[in-house]
Amino acid sequence: MKRIALKGGKELETKVKSKALDTFKEAAETIVNPELKKWMDRGGKVTGYFCCYAPEEIITAAGMVPMRVRATGSTSTELADAYLSSINCSFCRHAFNMGLKGEYDFLEAVVWLNNCDHIRRIYDNWRRKVGTPLAHMMSLPKLTGDKQVAWWREELVIFKEALEKHLGVTITDDKLRKAIKTHNETRRLLRQLYDLRKKANPPITGAETLATVIASTAMPREQYNKMLAELLNELKGAEGIKGYKFRLMLVTSIMDDPKLIKIIEDLGGLVVTDSACFGSRPFWVDVDEKVKDPLDALARYAIQQKPACPRMFLGFPQRSEYIQNMIKEFKVDGIIALRMVFCDLWAGELFMMEKDLQKAKIPVLHMDREYLMAGTSGQVRTRVQAFMESIGGK
Protein backbone atom coordinates (compact mmCIF):
# COMPACT_ATOMS: atom_id res chain seq x y z
CA MET A 1 0.00 0.00 0.00
CA LYS A 2 1.42 3.36 -0.99
CA ARG A 3 1.78 5.68 1.98
CA ILE A 4 1.72 9.43 1.72
CA ALA A 5 3.48 11.56 4.28
CA LEU A 6 1.11 13.46 6.51
CA LYS A 7 0.92 17.15 5.74
CA GLY A 8 -1.27 19.95 6.97
CA GLY A 9 -5.03 19.88 6.42
CA LYS A 10 -6.53 20.40 3.01
CA GLU A 11 -10.21 20.69 2.28
CA LEU A 12 -11.45 17.84 0.15
CA GLU A 13 -14.52 18.36 -2.01
CA THR A 14 -15.95 17.40 -5.34
CA LYS A 15 -14.90 19.41 -8.36
CA VAL A 16 -18.43 19.26 -9.71
CA LYS A 17 -20.81 22.17 -9.33
CA SER A 18 -24.11 20.40 -8.94
CA LYS A 19 -27.55 21.79 -8.23
CA ALA A 20 -28.68 18.34 -7.16
CA LEU A 21 -25.84 18.00 -4.68
CA ASP A 22 -26.60 21.45 -3.27
CA THR A 23 -30.22 20.35 -2.76
CA PHE A 24 -29.07 17.18 -0.99
CA LYS A 25 -26.73 19.15 1.25
CA GLU A 26 -29.56 21.45 2.20
CA ALA A 27 -31.79 18.46 2.93
CA ALA A 28 -29.13 17.07 5.24
CA GLU A 29 -28.92 20.34 7.15
CA THR A 30 -32.64 20.80 7.69
CA ILE A 31 -35.65 18.80 8.79
CA VAL A 32 -38.15 20.22 6.31
CA ASN A 33 -36.19 20.73 3.13
CA PRO A 34 -37.62 22.80 0.24
CA GLU A 35 -38.66 19.71 -1.78
CA LEU A 36 -40.49 18.25 1.20
CA LYS A 37 -42.11 21.60 1.87
CA LYS A 38 -43.34 21.81 -1.72
CA TRP A 39 -44.82 18.32 -1.30
CA MET A 40 -46.63 19.30 1.88
CA ASP A 41 -47.79 22.61 0.36
CA ARG A 42 -49.52 20.54 -2.31
CA GLY A 43 -51.32 18.63 0.45
CA GLY A 44 -48.91 15.70 0.53
CA LYS A 45 -48.49 13.81 3.81
CA VAL A 46 -45.35 12.56 5.51
CA THR A 47 -44.71 9.56 7.76
CA GLY A 48 -41.68 9.55 10.04
CA TYR A 49 -39.71 6.45 10.93
CA PHE A 50 -36.86 5.80 13.33
CA CYS A 51 -34.97 2.86 11.85
CA CYS A 52 -33.95 1.67 8.41
CA TYR A 53 -35.87 -1.58 8.97
CA ALA A 54 -39.10 0.42 8.68
CA PRO A 55 -41.02 -0.53 5.52
CA GLU A 56 -40.64 2.70 3.55
CA GLU A 57 -42.26 1.08 0.52
CA ILE A 58 -45.60 0.69 2.32
CA ILE A 59 -45.54 4.37 3.26
CA THR A 60 -44.81 5.32 -0.33
CA ALA A 61 -47.56 3.00 -1.56
CA ALA A 62 -49.96 4.78 0.79
CA GLY A 63 -49.18 7.99 -1.12
CA MET A 64 -47.00 9.50 1.59
CA VAL A 65 -43.36 10.48 1.84
CA PRO A 66 -41.36 8.30 4.25
CA MET A 67 -38.97 10.43 6.25
CA ARG A 68 -36.37 9.14 8.64
CA VAL A 69 -36.55 11.10 11.89
CA ARG A 70 -33.36 12.99 12.70
CA ALA A 71 -32.57 15.66 15.25
CA THR A 72 -30.70 17.94 12.90
CA GLY A 73 -30.61 21.47 14.23
CA SER A 74 -31.50 20.50 17.78
CA THR A 75 -29.47 22.34 20.37
CA SER A 76 -30.89 21.08 23.64
CA THR A 77 -32.93 18.39 25.37
CA GLU A 78 -34.60 20.39 28.14
CA LEU A 79 -38.14 19.13 27.49
CA ALA A 80 -37.17 15.52 26.82
CA ASP A 81 -35.08 15.40 29.98
CA ALA A 82 -38.27 15.45 32.04
CA TYR A 83 -39.13 12.05 30.58
CA LEU A 84 -35.86 10.37 29.67
CA SER A 85 -32.65 10.09 31.64
CA SER A 86 -29.02 10.96 31.21
CA ILE A 87 -28.20 7.34 30.33
CA ASN A 88 -30.40 7.46 27.27
CA CYS A 89 -28.88 7.92 23.86
CA SER A 90 -28.49 11.57 22.92
CA PHE A 91 -30.05 11.07 19.49
CA CYS A 92 -33.26 9.89 21.16
CA ARG A 93 -33.23 12.73 23.64
CA HIS A 94 -32.78 15.34 20.91
CA ALA A 95 -35.33 13.77 18.55
CA PHE A 96 -37.94 13.45 21.29
CA ASN A 97 -37.21 17.01 22.39
CA MET A 98 -37.96 18.19 18.87
CA GLY A 99 -41.18 16.21 18.98
CA LEU A 100 -42.15 17.88 22.24
CA LYS A 101 -41.32 21.30 20.82
CA GLY A 102 -43.68 20.69 17.93
CA GLU A 103 -40.98 20.55 15.29
CA TYR A 104 -42.38 17.26 14.00
CA ASP A 105 -45.99 18.39 14.04
CA PHE A 106 -46.05 18.16 10.26
CA LEU A 107 -45.91 14.34 10.47
CA GLU A 108 -49.15 12.49 9.82
CA ALA A 109 -47.79 9.26 11.29
CA VAL A 110 -44.67 7.86 12.89
CA VAL A 111 -43.61 4.24 12.88
CA TRP A 112 -41.22 2.59 15.33
CA LEU A 113 -39.71 -0.85 15.68
CA ASN A 114 -38.27 -2.51 18.76
CA ASN A 115 -34.84 -1.99 17.26
CA CYS A 116 -33.08 -0.83 20.43
CA ASP A 117 -33.89 -0.08 24.07
CA HIS A 118 -33.69 3.67 23.58
CA ILE A 119 -35.70 4.12 20.41
CA ARG A 120 -38.47 1.70 21.40
CA ARG A 121 -39.08 3.78 24.50
CA ILE A 122 -39.38 6.96 22.44
CA TYR A 123 -42.53 5.35 21.04
CA ASP A 124 -43.96 5.01 24.58
CA ASN A 125 -43.24 8.63 25.37
CA TRP A 126 -44.06 10.07 21.94
CA ARG A 127 -47.50 8.49 21.68
CA ARG A 128 -48.43 10.00 25.03
CA LYS A 129 -46.80 13.39 24.71
CA VAL A 130 -46.58 14.36 21.02
CA GLY A 131 -49.77 14.77 19.09
CA THR A 132 -48.86 12.82 15.94
CA PRO A 133 -52.18 11.50 14.58
CA LEU A 134 -50.91 7.93 14.13
CA ALA A 135 -48.10 6.39 16.23
CA HIS A 136 -47.43 2.79 15.27
CA MET A 137 -45.05 0.21 16.73
CA MET A 138 -43.87 -2.91 14.92
CA SER A 139 -42.37 -6.07 16.41
CA LEU A 140 -39.20 -6.91 14.48
CA PRO A 141 -37.85 -10.44 15.08
CA LYS A 142 -34.31 -10.95 16.31
CA LEU A 143 -33.75 -14.16 14.41
CA THR A 144 -33.64 -14.55 10.66
CA GLY A 145 -35.39 -17.82 9.79
CA ASP A 146 -38.42 -18.41 7.60
CA LYS A 147 -40.65 -18.32 10.66
CA GLN A 148 -39.43 -14.78 11.33
CA VAL A 149 -40.10 -13.80 7.72
CA ALA A 150 -43.70 -14.97 8.19
CA TRP A 151 -44.02 -13.05 11.48
CA TRP A 152 -42.64 -9.86 9.89
CA ARG A 153 -45.02 -10.23 6.96
CA GLU A 154 -47.89 -10.22 9.44
CA GLU A 155 -46.47 -7.09 11.04
CA LEU A 156 -46.31 -5.48 7.59
CA VAL A 157 -49.98 -6.33 7.03
CA ILE A 158 -50.92 -4.82 10.40
CA PHE A 159 -49.00 -1.65 9.54
CA LYS A 160 -50.50 -1.48 6.05
CA GLU A 161 -54.00 -1.84 7.48
CA ALA A 162 -53.31 0.83 10.10
CA LEU A 163 -52.27 3.28 7.37
CA GLU A 164 -55.24 2.33 5.21
CA LYS A 165 -57.66 2.88 8.06
CA HIS A 166 -56.05 6.11 9.15
CA LEU A 167 -55.81 7.64 5.68
CA GLY A 168 -58.92 6.10 4.16
CA VAL A 169 -56.91 4.64 1.28
CA THR A 170 -56.37 1.19 -0.18
CA ILE A 171 -52.81 0.00 -0.62
CA THR A 172 -53.06 -2.44 -3.47
CA ASP A 173 -50.41 -4.95 -4.50
CA ASP A 174 -49.85 -2.89 -7.66
CA LYS A 175 -49.15 0.20 -5.57
CA LEU A 176 -46.74 -1.81 -3.45
CA ARG A 177 -44.96 -3.18 -6.51
CA LYS A 178 -44.62 0.33 -7.91
CA ALA A 179 -43.24 1.58 -4.58
CA ILE A 180 -40.74 -1.29 -4.44
CA LYS A 181 -39.58 -0.38 -7.94
CA THR A 182 -39.15 3.27 -6.95
CA HIS A 183 -37.21 2.41 -3.81
CA ASN A 184 -35.09 -0.12 -5.65
CA GLU A 185 -34.28 2.61 -8.14
CA THR A 186 -32.96 4.70 -5.24
CA ARG A 187 -30.91 1.73 -4.06
CA ARG A 188 -29.52 1.10 -7.55
CA LEU A 189 -28.56 4.76 -8.02
CA LEU A 190 -26.92 4.99 -4.62
CA ARG A 191 -24.89 1.87 -5.34
CA GLN A 192 -23.76 3.53 -8.58
CA LEU A 193 -22.67 6.51 -6.51
CA TYR A 194 -20.69 4.18 -4.24
CA ASP A 195 -19.15 2.50 -7.30
CA LEU A 196 -17.65 5.84 -8.25
CA ARG A 197 -15.98 5.95 -4.84
CA LYS A 198 -14.07 2.78 -5.61
CA LYS A 199 -11.89 4.76 -8.02
CA ALA A 200 -8.39 5.80 -7.00
CA ASN A 201 -9.65 9.36 -7.22
CA PRO A 202 -13.33 9.34 -6.34
CA PRO A 203 -15.32 12.29 -7.68
CA ILE A 204 -17.21 12.83 -4.42
CA THR A 205 -16.25 12.99 -0.75
CA GLY A 206 -17.63 10.98 2.14
CA ALA A 207 -19.30 14.07 3.61
CA GLU A 208 -21.03 14.84 0.32
CA THR A 209 -22.09 11.21 -0.04
CA LEU A 210 -23.58 11.20 3.46
CA ALA A 211 -25.61 14.31 2.59
CA THR A 212 -26.83 12.54 -0.54
CA VAL A 213 -27.87 9.45 1.43
CA ILE A 214 -29.61 11.52 4.10
CA ALA A 215 -31.58 13.35 1.41
CA SER A 216 -32.90 9.99 0.19
CA THR A 217 -34.65 9.62 3.53
CA ALA A 218 -36.14 13.10 3.53
CA MET A 219 -37.42 13.93 0.07
CA PRO A 220 -40.29 12.80 -2.15
CA ARG A 221 -38.74 9.69 -3.59
CA GLU A 222 -39.37 10.05 -7.33
CA GLN A 223 -38.08 13.60 -7.26
CA TYR A 224 -35.03 12.41 -5.34
CA ASN A 225 -34.32 9.67 -7.86
CA LYS A 226 -34.37 12.15 -10.74
CA MET A 227 -31.95 14.46 -8.96
CA LEU A 228 -29.65 11.61 -7.96
CA ALA A 229 -29.54 10.43 -11.58
CA GLU A 230 -28.57 13.99 -12.57
CA LEU A 231 -25.81 14.05 -9.98
CA LEU A 232 -24.48 10.72 -11.20
CA ASN A 233 -24.30 12.03 -14.75
CA GLU A 234 -22.42 15.07 -13.56
CA LEU A 235 -19.99 12.97 -11.54
CA LYS A 236 -19.31 10.32 -14.16
CA GLY A 237 -16.90 12.32 -16.25
CA ALA A 238 -15.72 14.57 -13.45
CA GLU A 239 -12.19 15.02 -12.21
CA GLY A 240 -11.52 12.92 -9.13
CA ILE A 241 -10.33 14.05 -5.72
CA LYS A 242 -6.59 13.98 -5.30
CA GLY A 243 -4.25 14.67 -2.46
CA TYR A 244 -5.94 12.60 0.21
CA LYS A 245 -3.76 10.46 2.44
CA PHE A 246 -5.83 7.44 3.32
CA ARG A 247 -8.98 5.68 2.23
CA LEU A 248 -11.19 5.23 5.26
CA MET A 249 -14.37 3.35 6.03
CA LEU A 250 -16.96 4.40 8.56
CA VAL A 251 -18.69 1.75 10.67
CA THR A 252 -21.52 3.08 12.79
CA SER A 253 -25.19 3.18 13.69
CA ILE A 254 -27.02 6.47 13.31
CA MET A 255 -24.63 9.16 12.09
CA ASP A 256 -26.27 11.90 10.12
CA ASP A 257 -23.75 14.70 10.47
CA PRO A 258 -21.68 15.37 7.35
CA LYS A 259 -19.63 17.87 9.35
CA LEU A 260 -18.09 15.05 11.35
CA ILE A 261 -16.91 13.35 8.18
CA LYS A 262 -15.66 16.68 6.88
CA ILE A 263 -13.37 16.96 9.89
CA ILE A 264 -11.89 13.56 9.05
CA GLU A 265 -11.57 14.41 5.39
CA ASP A 266 -10.01 17.80 6.04
CA LEU A 267 -7.24 15.89 7.78
CA GLY A 268 -6.66 13.90 4.61
CA GLY A 269 -8.67 10.76 5.35
CA LEU A 270 -11.11 10.33 2.49
CA VAL A 271 -14.13 8.33 3.62
CA VAL A 272 -14.80 6.02 0.68
CA THR A 273 -17.38 3.64 2.10
CA ASP A 274 -19.25 2.58 5.21
CA SER A 275 -21.39 0.12 7.03
CA ALA A 276 -23.92 2.52 8.49
CA CYS A 277 -27.64 3.13 8.93
CA PHE A 278 -27.34 6.39 7.01
CA GLY A 279 -25.07 4.64 4.58
CA SER A 280 -24.77 1.51 2.54
CA ARG A 281 -26.74 -0.97 4.64
CA PRO A 282 -30.25 0.17 3.61
CA PHE A 283 -29.47 0.08 -0.12
CA TRP A 284 -26.81 -2.55 -0.71
CA VAL A 285 -29.40 -5.16 -1.66
CA ASP A 286 -32.63 -4.72 -3.63
CA VAL A 287 -36.06 -5.97 -2.66
CA ASP A 288 -36.77 -8.87 -5.03
CA GLU A 289 -39.24 -7.56 -7.65
CA LYS A 290 -39.80 -11.02 -9.10
CA VAL A 291 -41.56 -12.33 -6.00
CA LYS A 292 -45.30 -12.50 -6.72
CA ASP A 293 -46.50 -11.20 -3.36
CA PRO A 294 -44.91 -7.80 -2.64
CA LEU A 295 -45.35 -8.21 1.12
CA ASP A 296 -43.50 -11.53 0.97
CA ALA A 297 -40.72 -9.76 -0.88
CA LEU A 298 -40.54 -6.95 1.68
CA ALA A 299 -40.59 -9.36 4.61
CA ARG A 300 -37.82 -11.56 3.23
CA TYR A 301 -35.77 -8.50 2.33
CA ALA A 302 -35.83 -7.12 5.88
CA ILE A 303 -35.23 -10.38 7.72
CA GLN A 304 -32.91 -12.31 5.45
CA GLN A 305 -31.49 -10.18 2.68
CA LYS A 306 -30.59 -6.67 3.73
CA PRO A 307 -27.28 -6.19 5.57
CA ALA A 308 -28.25 -6.65 9.18
CA CYS A 309 -28.09 -4.51 12.29
CA PRO A 310 -26.22 -5.72 15.43
CA ARG A 311 -29.58 -6.37 17.13
CA MET A 312 -30.10 -9.41 14.87
CA PHE A 313 -29.05 -12.33 17.02
CA LEU A 314 -25.93 -14.30 16.06
CA GLY A 315 -25.63 -12.45 12.76
CA PHE A 316 -22.16 -11.14 13.48
CA PRO A 317 -20.31 -13.42 11.02
CA GLN A 318 -22.38 -12.00 8.14
CA ARG A 319 -21.97 -8.45 9.39
CA SER A 320 -18.23 -8.94 9.68
CA GLU A 321 -18.07 -10.42 6.20
CA TYR A 322 -19.93 -7.39 4.88
CA ILE A 323 -17.27 -5.12 6.36
CA GLN A 324 -14.42 -7.29 5.08
CA ASN A 325 -15.89 -7.22 1.57
CA MET A 326 -16.20 -3.44 1.71
CA ILE A 327 -12.59 -3.18 2.80
CA LYS A 328 -11.48 -5.15 -0.23
CA GLU A 329 -13.82 -3.56 -2.76
CA PHE A 330 -13.06 -0.01 -1.73
CA LYS A 331 -9.38 -0.56 -0.92
CA VAL A 332 -9.80 0.70 2.62
CA ASP A 333 -6.70 1.63 4.64
CA GLY A 334 -8.40 2.02 8.00
CA ILE A 335 -11.71 2.02 9.78
CA ILE A 336 -13.31 4.66 11.94
CA ALA A 337 -15.86 3.03 14.19
CA LEU A 338 -18.30 5.39 15.89
CA ARG A 339 -20.57 4.42 18.75
CA MET A 340 -23.23 6.54 20.39
CA VAL A 341 -22.54 6.72 24.11
CA PHE A 342 -24.86 4.34 26.06
CA CYS A 343 -25.45 2.12 23.05
CA ASP A 344 -25.09 -1.44 24.34
CA LEU A 345 -25.63 -3.04 20.94
CA TRP A 346 -22.73 -1.22 19.37
CA ALA A 347 -20.47 -1.72 22.39
CA GLY A 348 -20.72 -5.45 21.73
CA GLU A 349 -20.52 -5.09 17.98
CA LEU A 350 -17.32 -3.06 18.04
CA PHE A 351 -15.75 -5.40 20.59
CA MET A 352 -16.33 -8.32 18.21
CA MET A 353 -15.44 -6.35 15.10
CA GLU A 354 -12.10 -5.26 16.50
CA LYS A 355 -11.17 -8.91 17.01
CA ASP A 356 -11.71 -9.63 13.32
CA LEU A 357 -10.04 -6.45 12.14
CA GLN A 358 -7.04 -7.18 14.30
CA LYS A 359 -6.73 -10.59 12.63
CA ALA A 360 -7.03 -8.96 9.22
CA LYS A 361 -4.48 -6.30 10.27
CA ILE A 362 -6.84 -3.44 9.46
CA PRO A 363 -6.25 -0.38 11.64
CA VAL A 364 -9.34 0.78 13.50
CA LEU A 365 -10.16 3.88 15.51
CA HIS A 366 -12.98 3.39 17.99
CA MET A 367 -14.64 6.67 19.00
CA ASP A 368 -17.63 7.12 21.27
CA ARG A 369 -19.75 10.11 20.39
CA GLU A 370 -22.77 12.13 21.38
CA TYR A 371 -25.36 13.06 18.77
CA LEU A 372 -24.31 16.69 18.74
CA MET A 373 -20.71 17.34 17.95
CA ALA A 374 -20.77 20.74 19.62
CA GLY A 375 -17.58 21.34 21.55
CA THR A 376 -15.99 18.04 20.62
CA SER A 377 -14.70 18.75 17.13
CA GLY A 378 -11.22 19.46 18.51
CA GLN A 379 -11.13 16.06 20.23
CA VAL A 380 -12.31 14.33 17.08
CA ARG A 381 -9.64 16.10 15.07
CA THR A 382 -6.89 15.12 17.51
CA ARG A 383 -7.93 11.47 17.66
CA VAL A 384 -8.31 11.11 13.91
CA GLN A 385 -4.97 12.83 13.34
CA ALA A 386 -3.26 10.46 15.79
CA PHE A 387 -4.99 7.51 14.13
CA MET A 388 -3.80 8.53 10.69
CA GLU A 389 -0.30 9.04 11.96
CA SER A 390 -0.43 5.52 13.37
CA ILE A 391 -1.52 4.13 10.00
CA GLY A 392 1.16 6.11 8.22
CA GLY A 393 3.80 4.97 10.66
CA LYS A 394 3.08 1.30 10.14
Partner 1 sequence: MTARSLTDKCCQKLIEERDMLGMMVEAFTKTSTGTNLHLVPTKAFVEHHNEILKRYISGEPHITSYFCCAPEIYTAMDLPWNTFLTPAFTGAIMPGYHEMIDASGKMFRGMDLCTIIRLAAYIVEEDLVPPPTAVVAMIHPCDGINVVHQTMAKNEKWSKIPVFGADPPYWADERSYNYYADELKKMVAFLEKHTGIKMNTNRLREVIKESNKQIALWQEYNDLRRAVPCPHGGGMGLEVFGEAMTVHCGMPIGTKWLKDVIADAEALVKQKKGAVPKERIRLLWFDVLSLGLTMGLFPWLEQEWGAVIVMEMFGYSPYTQIDTSSEDSMFRGMAVRALHEVPMIRQARGVADLFLTDIERIVIDHKVDCVIYPGYMGHKDGSANVGLMREKCRELGVPFLYIGMDLFDDRYTTLDELKDKISKFFVAMGLGNK
DSSP-derived pairing of the beta strands 134-138 and 269-275? unpaired
Q: Could you say whether residue 118 binds partner 1 (CB under 8 A)?
A: yes
* Stretch binding partner 1 (CB under 8 A), from 46-54, 76-84, 176-184, 200-208: 76-84
Of 53, 278, 342, 387, the residue at the interface with partner 1 (CB under 8 A) is 342
Q: Which residues contact 2 (CB under 8 A, 6 or more apart)?
A: none
Q: Which residues contact 16 (CB under 8 A, 6 or more apart)?
A: 203, 204, 234, 235, 238
Of 366, 380, 387, 391, the residue at the interface with partner 1 (CB under 8 A) is 366
Report d(CA 107, CA 363) in Å as an integer. Answer: 42
Residue among 103 and 117 whose Cβ is closer to partner 1: 117
Q: How far is the CB of 350 from partner 1 (least distance, A)?
A: 8
Size of the site for partner 1 (CB under 8 A): 50
Q: Which residue from 186, 154, 71, 55 is spatially nearest to 109, judged by alpha carbons?
A: 55
Q: Which residues contact 130 (CB under 8 A, 6 or more apart)?
A: 96, 99, 100, 104
Q: Could you say whether residue 101 binds partner 1 (CB under 8 A)?
A: no
- Please provide residue 234's backbone torsions phi and psi, each rounded to the nearest 5 degrees: -65, -35
Q: Which of residues 282-341 bind partner 1 (CB under 8 A)?
A: 310-311, 313-314, 316, 341
Q: Which residues contact 70 (CB under 8 A, 6 or more apart)?
A: 31, 95, 214, 218, 256
Coil, strand or helix at 77:
coil
Of 4, 9, 76, 82, the residue at the interface with partner 1 (CB under 8 A) is 82
Q: Which residues contact 221 (CB under 8 A, 6 or more apart)?
A: 60, 65, 66, 182, 183, 186
1-20 CB burial, b ≥16 within 10 A, e <16: eeeeebeeeeebebebebeb
Residue among 187 and 369 whose Cβ is closer to partner 1: 369
Of 116, 156, 189, 213, the residue at the interface with partner 1 (CB under 8 A) is 116
Q: How far is the CB of 92 from partner 1 (least distance, A)?
A: 7
Residue among 82 and 360 whose Cβ is closer to partner 1: 82
* Stretch binding partner 1 (CB under 8 A), from 118-126, 167-175, 321-329, 379-387: 118-126
* Stretch binding partner 1 (CB under 8 A), from 57-65, 81-89, 187-195, 371-379: 81-89
Q: Which residue from 202, 255, 299 is spatially nearest to 28, judged by alpha carbons?
A: 255
Q: How far is CA 146 from CA 149, 296, 303, in A?
A: 5, 11, 9
* Stretch binding partner 1 (CB under 8 A), from 170-178, 183-191, 348-356, 379-387: 348-356
Q: How far is the CB of 142 from partner 1 (least distance, A)?
A: 5
* Stretch binding partner 1 (CB under 8 A), from 14-22, 25-33, 116-124, 184-192: 116-124
Paired with 369 in beta bridges are 340
Q: Could you say whether residue 114 binds partner 1 (CB under 8 A)?
A: yes
Catalog residues that contact partner 1 under the rule CB under 8 A: 82-89, 92, 114, 116-118, 120-125, 128, 137-143, 147-148, 151, 154, 310-311, 313-314, 316, 341-345, 347-352, 355, 366, 368
